[in-house]
């Protein structure tokens, strides 16, 4: 019965028992490492791609051949602040949001 009482006793207090600051850092280091992995593999490439897409939309001009996110090909006939008019066939114009332009085709 005496062994059970010692097993249930609180651990002694002091630097040797808890490991001090080193034990706390050992719990934080994996979290910092995981954040670094997420940053370099997910966050940074996504920000770079969004920046390139914004630059593409800012450089868009009348007469460009574009492809929309839905796969529609057309020629830019008019530009507004947020709306682009595309000619998808002779005499057939459609209006789409500027953000849905996926790429500009090179002739």
Q: What is the three-class DSSP state of 107?
A: coil
What integer pLDDT is reported at residue 18 of this predicted model? 53
State the chain's mean pLDDT as an integer: 86
Task: Count CB atoms within 10 A of the CB of residue 107.
Answer: 4
Percent of the chain topping pLDDT 70: 80
Identify the band that residue 10 occupies on the pLDDT scale cut at 50, 70 and 90.
low
Identify the band that residue 78 occupies on the pLDDT scale cut at 50, 70 and 90.
very high
CA distances to 18, 30, 47, 101, 104 from 58, in Å: 58, 41, 17, 11, 12
Identify the band that residue 102 occupies on the pLDDT scale cut at 50, 70 and 90.
very high
What is d(CA 32, CA 95) in angstroms, rounded to the nearest whole number? 46
Average pLDDT over residues 25-48: 91
What is d(CA 100, CA 76) in angstroms, rounded to the nearest whole number? 13
């Amino acid at each position: 019965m005496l062994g059970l009482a010692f097993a249930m006793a609180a651990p002694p207090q002091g630097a040797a028992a808890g490991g001090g600051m080193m034990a706390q850092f050992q719990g934080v280091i994996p979290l910092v490492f995981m954040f670094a992995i997420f940053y370099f593999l997910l966050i940074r490439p996504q920000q770079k791609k969004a920046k390139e897409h914004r630059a593409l939309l800012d450089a868009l001009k009348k007469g460009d051949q574009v492809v929309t996110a839905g796969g529609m090909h057309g020629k830019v006939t008019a530009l507004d602040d947020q709306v682009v008019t595309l000619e998808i066939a002779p005499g057939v114009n459609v209006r789409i949001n500027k953000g849905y332009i996926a790429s500009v085709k090179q002739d």
